[in-house]
């Protein structure tokens, strides 16, 4: 079973720190705050009727490189818009305020979101499509189970009570 630590390990924090000229610890803290919100947003959208749309997006991201040089930030912006919809600013504000870690500012989170989002989709796609046939995934809970496990498992503990409390009313505000 996939876990939050596996996803976290996919994010090139050292390269991102160099790219933005910030401390690697600040990027680590920001990414740790971002991931539960992104995964929770994906889960909320899937649960509110957007699972077919999400599966299509995952298929489009399956096998994509997660190297920083290969990330399409414009694609990332579309993902973030689809996940959070009109609630994006509120979610960013909540994510930035969720941690007391120095350096994980709202500005850094805004810069990281469109870069981290395609990595998350690529990783979720690899977990979702990795070695299982579609019929098996659909009968065993598939995408909902995968995202739900991340949200209730490692994602919630890594991001504090981000999903359960602070963002609870905001997630699911995206498009289906």
pLDDT in tens, 42-98: 888 888 878 888 999 999 999 998 899 999 999 999 999 998 988 888 888 888 876
- Condensed to tens digits (0 to 9), the pLDDT of residues 137-153 reads 443 456 766 776 666 65
In a domain, 98, yes or no: yes
Query: Nearest 5 degrees, angle CA 13-CA 18-CA 20?
Result: 95
* Number of domains making up the chain: 1
- CA atoms within 13 A of residue 118's CA, in its CB half-sphere: 21
> Residue 10: which domain range?
4-161
In a domain, 25, yes or no: yes
130 alpha-carbon distance from chain centroid: 18
Regarding pTM above 0.85, the answer is no
In a domain, 167, yes or no: no
In a domain, 150, yes or no: yes
In a domain, 35, yes or no: yes
């Amino acid at each position: 079973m996939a876990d939050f630590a596996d996803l976290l390990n996919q994010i090139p924090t050292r390269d991102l720190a160099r790219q933005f000229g910030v401390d690697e610890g600040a990027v680590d803290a920001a990414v740790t705050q971002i991931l539960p919100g992104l995964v929770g947003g994906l889960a909320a959208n899937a649960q509110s009727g957007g699972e077919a749309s999400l599966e299509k997006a995952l298929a489009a991201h399956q096998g994509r490189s997660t190297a920083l040089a290969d990330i399409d930030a414009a694609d990332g912006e579309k993902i973030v818009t689809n996940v959070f919809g009109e609630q994006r600013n509120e979610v960013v504000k909540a994510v930035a305020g969720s941690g007391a870690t120095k350096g994980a500012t709202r500005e850094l989170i805004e810069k990281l979101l469109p870069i981290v989002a395609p990595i998350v989709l690529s990783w979720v796609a690899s977990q979702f499509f990795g070695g299982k046939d579609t019929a098996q995934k659909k009968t065993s809970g598939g995408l909902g189970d995968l995202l739900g496990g991340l949200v209730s498992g490692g994602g919630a503990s890594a991001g504090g009570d981000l999903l359960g409390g602070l963002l609870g009313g905001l997630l699911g505000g995206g498009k289906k």
